[in-house]
Structure 1
């Protein structure tokens, strides 16, 4: 499994983007955003080509259906992706859906073949267990289209502006998403795949 491919789509699943995460680095996060915006047919074709190209080593295996990346964290050596695997709409503001996290999954990025003993040390495993114990299903909310970290007044006055602002003081997962945001410009709804 040399790479993770995270496939993101818009709400209507008409446009797709790809994040490629190299799994052959033990401690560095090597993530690349494909600049191409794909159609449904093009993304299907791309995934078939990736699967065919990796057939000798196991092909392309779906890892999870993901509604978002809650973050990426590194302890002593390995990076971990924290993924939102189940969500629930709890309301809406000005027509924008607001979601809470119902389930999450932590995925180790480096392939086991490149991990050193540090990745399996008691301390690393303890940190990973502590991360797993964080209850993301209680009081963590997000929206794809509405900046819930800002006041209603600010949102109304800035209607029509492009992009979702990230103000570190009000975003609960700002630290966890910092490494990914620094390498990528667009984060969409995702499906995670791994090439073997």
Structure 2
């Protein structure tokens, strides 16, 4: 796929992107203050802390100037002085999502980020540090919040290292290819529902409630690398992006083939973007090439064995009319169009 005469990478040229946040708390509420890139415009999000069973998130529709925002926070502090007032909790760079196990809801935040590249003037970030915040305050938390199972589930979630192989952007739809961004003006809500956004479920509640994605970031899992090269006296940037599907993902040998919905195991879209290095904005010429890899779209498996380095391939007969295979190729056609060219990377056939 190739595209030329790029304008803005398919994004809204005048958006209100919130990029820096500060979290405050009172006894009964959390207040998230979001600022745009310049730090001059503010929005406020209120999260209720008194109802342990429900996640109640309310967004103030007003866009405040910085001095107006500080005045509002001061009035909130004064109004809650009898119960401790308004306290600063942490600075952050977006909400990863909300999760509930057996006890209270938790909020996952990005507290440190690092720049790893830019596409058409849009910065791409990786996560350096995260933090989990308990929504309910101590007086209203049930005993379940301190149970053995609750602690085990929290430990399992915290074992996922979000500082490795996850990346995001506030203003560029990094979950899509460059060509798709140029050709389609898709909203933030739809972008989260794609196969490459790994925190789609964690953000579903707040997105459906607020009908926007101002407060959350869409995390793509895979690989992102951008380098500067000199070709024939011209300085160019080479960007390699690998996006791994969240559907039917798993470790090798444990996930193989296709499932009933036509999703293949370990589906990865790889994109190579080349453009001339310009001081700012988007270059006049840019090239994007995309290819996709995934497991063979049949019902098959391999038995794991330490003694056999090449275990036998077991082909299931559960789909004699290849309905799942058909669904898979229909999905590919919707995403990339026709014709679809298949390259077989295995030496032993499945017949």
**TM-score, with length taken from structure 1:** 0.91
Alignment match of 1:45 (pick from 62, 68, 71): 71
Change (3 A) 1:126 1:48: same
For residues 39-64 of structure 1, what are the alpha-carbon distances to aligned partners after superposition, in whole Å with 9 as ceiling and x for unaligned? Answer: 11111110010111111111111111
Correspondences of 1:45-194 after superposition (within 5 Å): 45-158=71-184, 161=185, 163-164=187-188, 165-184=191-210, 185-188=212-215
Aligned counterparts of 1:150 and 1:94: Cα–Cα separation in 2: 14
Q: Which residue of 2 aligns with 1:193?
A: none
Aligned counterparts of 1:66 and 1:52: Cα–Cα separation in 2: 24
Aligned-pair distance for 1:11? 0.7
Aligned counterparts of 2:194 and 2:107: Cα–Cα separation in 1: 20
| RMSD (Å), alpha carbons | 1.4
Query: Which structure 2 residue ranges, 5 or more long, are not aligned?
Result: 1-26, 217-351
Q: Which residue of 1 aligns with 2:61?
A: 35
Give the total of aligned pairs: 187
Query: Which structure 1 residue ranges, 5 or more long, are not aligned?
Result: 190-196
For residues 82-131 of structure 1, what are the alpha-carbon distances to aligned partners after superposition, in whole Å with 9 as ceiling and x for unaligned? Answer: 00000001001111000000000000001111111111110011111111
Aligned counterparts of 1:142 and 1:40: Cα–Cα separation in 2: 26
Aligned-pair distance for 1:29? 0.4
- Do structure 1's residue 2 and structure 2's residue 28 form an aligned pair? yes
Alignment match of 2:46 (pick from 12, 15, 20): 20
